[in-house]
Amino acid sequence: MINVSIDIGSTWTKGAVFEVGDNDHIEVKNCALSPTTPHHLAEGFFTVLNRILNVDDARPLLESGKIKLDYSSSAKGGLAVAAIGLVPSITLESAKVTAHSAGAKVSQHFAYNLNKADLRALEATPPDILLFTGGTDGGDCAHGLANAKLLAKSNLDCAIIYAGNRDLQDEVQDLLGDKDLTIVDNVLPSLDNPSPLGARSAICDIFLHKIVKGKGLDVIVEQTGEEPLPTPYSVFELVEQIRRHVVGWETFMLIDMGGATTDIYSANQNSLAPDTVMHGLPEPIVKRTVEGDLGMRVSAITAGETGAPLIAHYFSHQESKIAAFHHYLKHLVANPGYLPRTDEERIFDQLLAGICVGYAAERHAGKKVQVCTCAGNVDLQVGRDLNPIKKVIGTGGWLSRANDFDIHHWLKYRDLDDDGKQVLLPSQFEYYRDTQGLLPLLANVARRFPKAAAQTSVQILNK
């Protein structure tokens, strides 16, 4: 049996042939990449498949059953999910964590009651999926019922997953049954008991059976007999397998910086320093966040807008340099496969990467601020303290290639955020690079060989 893994990214489509040994090791036999063909993803996919198999047409091999194919895709720029919750730091946060762990990006999010402006925003830019949550089981019903009634009157045309208060399931079914509705278990049945699995499975199922029918993914499914998973979902599962199966890697971060998004994964137990109080929900051991405005090519312009203060500081308000940098970003968006050719362009690429890493990591990390109470001053922590992390992995096309990128500087480019809160990111760590860009491909193989894929993922990294 020939084991093949392919990942369709926003800029590049990558593939490899693997041989799985008996000693929990996976050997790479051949690999290749080709520019992603966004107009019809099947073209780039089969180009890579033919190259790694050294054939003119791999379809007969597929039909013979000699190939076991695992593949993933993030070429749509991320599975867009809009999240509705009740309290921002509780059920809405649970909805966002659930969406991210399923390989989606949260394109919009709303708390409490939707209003007409919220509805217009949803209708104007409909997500792939609306994740409708709110209320613990037996808790608040008023907000969820009001939102269901408003959605029922809307023109919103997308899949809707209801994962809120179970007391409202019948009313939601009655109100939204004419839409594309799926009802699953509450993502937060009680405040100390998050339950994201039902909603995660529903998100992945919708991706597999509905959203793949576009831009050639349905052609790949038809001709291979296999269905893809969202790339971030596969990588999320790989992070979990590394944490479980590789000694010394129970705690780490992985930064996957692509052309469209920057994804941050962390495996870390929740911890509190002395005199620190947690605010909000405890986070899962494995967490993913995705930033759709931070990418090295497709999202370069929005990354420049997000990082405007950092850019101004970096160039010490040299207006000509700032203008040249933004001109370079426009060129990248128009030419996603472009690689820098001059020293100035290489500097611009380094700055763009720093913006993506710095802002994405800061959004991923927990924050801490000192507050005054009747018992004295205490530190109030929201999110998770990542200071204990001593290992960081960089992957994605640019980070895989960049051997002179000072990630220690950019990962924690400042100690305090714009609100004066301490950013809880690691300051001392070992940095490992996925120089061959194999982690997304091993993540696909991990669906069948979890321990071997986890062990090999660590072994192929370079410091």
**pLDDT tens-place string over residues 153-178:** 888 888 999 999 999 999 999 999 99
pLDDT category of residue 375 using cuts at 50, 70 and 90:
low
For residue 75, CA distances in Å to 44, 58, 109, 211, 311 come to 11, 22, 23, 12, 28
Q: What is the pLDDT of residue 419?
A: 84
Q: What percent of the chain has pLDDT over 70?
A: 96
Greater model confidence, 252 or 419: 252
Topology of the domain comprising 2-76+215-227: Nucleotidyltransferase; domain 5 (3.30.420)
Q: What is the pLDDT of residue 324?
A: 94
Q: What is the pLDDT of residue 455?
A: 93
> What average pLDDT is seen over the chain?
87
Residue bearing tokens 């993922």: 457
Instruction: Give 109's Cβ-side CA count (13 Å radius).
Output: 20
pLDDT of 251 over the 90 cut: yes
Predicted TM-score (pTM) of the model is 0.82
Domain boundaries, the chain: 2-76+215-227, 80-208, 243-435
Nearest 5°: the CA angle 303, 309, 314 is 95
Q: Considering only 99-103, 124-128, 387-391, which range has the smallest mean pLDDT?
A: 99-103
Topology of the domain comprising 80-208: Rossmann fold (3.40.50)
Q: What is the pLDDT of residue 256?
A: 93
